[in-house]
A and B are shown apart, each in its own frame.
Chain A
């Protein structure tokens, strides 16, 4: 069964540094998402991406965050200047067309900010 692949599985970064999290979506999917899960808390929506542009973003997704799909395959989340509170598990999810199609999640990237 096709999978969503995320790299790296774990990223440790100094506060203030830039990080890029990568996701390879399922090939025929059109909707792309980033969610995050702070340790012990629920999964929160960050941003959705469709037709090469952001379709919705949450309050969490401020100017420090950006997403792109530079080469038509990888889907990346960049945090420009990391803060301690960015430490979390970040999940990429992808879905095919329509609201009734389930999203498929990657195994996540654990981001630790020191």
Chain B
């Protein structure tokens, strides 16, 4: 069965520092991968997606993610974090059955130090 692992429950970075949030997936073929962001009390907003092609994908709010098949990873990066980036970040993979449901990781909560 497909699965997603986000090994870091919390990450704290200083404003202006770079950020990398880890995501590992389990799937035999090429996965369809997403990163979503959730601010407190809010819904899930799509940051970026990977389906095929270029393994470095650009998203909204200055985020990017790199798909590495050899490491089964899809890590999210940002070169310079802003205080408004503090939120919970979820990595997800599409389940390749008829429903195309999303399978989410457990999330990483990002805290930004002033």
Give chain A's interface residues, CB within 8 Å of chain B.
Answer: 31, 33, 35, 41-45, 48, 50, 55-56, 91, 93, 95, 98-100, 102-108, 110
Contacts and interface: CB of A to CB of B under 8 A. Distances in A.
Interface residues of B, number: 27
Contacts, number: 62
B9 to A, nearest CB: 10
B46 A104 contact: yes
Contacts of A110: 41
Interface of B: 32, 34, 36, 41-46, 49, 51, 90, 92, 94-107
Given A33-B101, A99-B94, A110-B41, 7 more contacts: A31-B99, A43-B92, A43-B104, A45-B102, A48-B100, A56-B99, A105-B43
Contacts of A91: 43-44
A33 B46 CA distance: 16
**Dominant secondary structure of chain B at its interface with chain A:** loop
A44 B106 CA distance: 10
A106 B49 CA distance: 18
A45 B45 CA distance: 17
A91 B44 CA distance: 9
Nearest to A48: B99
A42 B36 contact: no
B98 A102 contact: no
Contacts of B103: 45
A55 B44 contact: no
B99 A43 contact: no
B32 A100 contact: yes
Nearest to B4: A42
Nearest to A100: B51
Contact of A42 (B45, B46, B95, B105): B105
